[in-house]
């Protein structure tokens, strides 16, 4: 039986320069996708960045995903929140968007870390299937 995992995707060591470079690339690609969304009229400022953070957290680890999340906030504030290409004080709605992104980023990065740890346990063979299912009653 084959174990679950990311087939064909190599993982990067969490604190390596390759992980942080991959984080920068993910932020740049997400910014390009967000730019297309803004051109089409979508006003969800952080929507394109969240899936990238999750995948980055699985592939490159928590430090690179946190780096990407920290890099995302000033980037979105400067590029996508009007007035464009200027740091101005945030309105209450924009501040709520930043806070909500931070909350979702923490949750997604934590979930990605759990997925990465589970894949490591499965790959090493330390998780053995039990003989009995939790759904069966042995009585």
Are 79 and 91 in contact, with CB atoms under 8 Å apart?
no
Are 58 and 27 in contact, with CB atoms under 8 Å apart?
no
Q: How far apart are CA 47 and CA 39, in angstroms?
A: 14
Residue 1's pLDDT band (cuts 50, 70, 90): very low
CA atoms within 13 A on the CB side of 127: 9
**What are the domain boundaries of the chain?**
17-122
pLDDT tens digits along 54-102: 999 999 999 999 999 999 999 999 999 988 899 999 999 999 999 999 9
Between 114 and 3, whose confidence is greater?
114
């Amino acid at each position: 039986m084959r174990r679950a995992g990311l087939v064909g995707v190599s993982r990067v060591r969490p604190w390596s320069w390759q992980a942080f470079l991959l984080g920068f690339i993910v932020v740049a690609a997400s910014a390009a996708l967000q730019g297309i969304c803004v051109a089409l009229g979508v006003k969800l400022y952080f929507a394109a960045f969240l899936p990238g953070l999750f995948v980055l957290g699985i592939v490159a680890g928590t430090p690179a995903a946190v780096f990407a999340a920290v890099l995302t906030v000033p980037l979105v504030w400067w590029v996508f929140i009007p007035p464009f290409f200027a740091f101005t004080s945030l309105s209450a709605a924009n501040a709520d968007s930043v806070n909500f992104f931070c909350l979702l980023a923490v949750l997604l990065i934590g979930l990605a870390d759990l997925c990465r740890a589970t894949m490591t346990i499965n790959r090493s063979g330390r998780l053995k299937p039990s003989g009995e299912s939790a759904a069966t009653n042995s009585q």
